[in-house]
């Protein structure tokens, strides 16, 4: 499912640019061909209303509508088990820390250790 989500993110980034060059139009057509019809129809319905179809999830909150999402949605996204939508605004959600700038998918990095614990070991 991450591959489909990456395609949607790339498509959105190309479609929401101010100017679209002819070579970009070809890329958009190729991306749209890779997306299954139900997902593309939903994405287009949001776009017809002037909304972006994909939004990052930050601090358990949809960045599109700023409404919190259930923990189960966050866990599903972390495990890349399925594509999730915001129950409020209908956007497809993704975790920005998992999707890299190059378009690849990486596993989340482990959290940094607490500073106090590091100091305790240093003494």
Query: pTM, whole model, 2 decimals?
Result: 0.73
Domain extent for 67: 2-122
Segment 76-105, tens digit of pLDDT? 998 887 899 999 999 999 998 766 544 444
The mean pLDDT value of the chain amounts to 81
- Region 107-117: mean pLDDT is 45
Please report the beta strands in the chain, taking only residues with DSSP state E, as ranges in sequence order.
54-58, 61-62, 84-85, 92-94
Cα separation, 5 vs 39, whole angstroms: 10
Our count of domains for the chain comes to 1
């Amino acid at each position: 499912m991450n591959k489909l989500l990456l395609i949607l993110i790339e498509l959105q980034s190309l479609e929401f640019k101010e100017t679209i060059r002819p070579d970009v139009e070809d890329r958009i057509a190729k991306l749209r061909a890779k997306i299954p019809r139900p997902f593309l129809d939903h994405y287009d319905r949001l776009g017809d209303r002037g909304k972006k179809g994909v939004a990052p999830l930050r601090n358990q909150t949809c960045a599109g509508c700023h409404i919190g999402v259930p923990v189960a949605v966050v866990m599903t996204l972390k495990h890349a088990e399925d594509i999730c939508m915001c129950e409020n605004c209908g956007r497809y959600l993704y975790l920005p820390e998992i999707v890299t700038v190059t378009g690849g998918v990486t596993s989340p990095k482990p959290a940094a250790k607490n500073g106090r614990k590091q100091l305790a070991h240093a003494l």
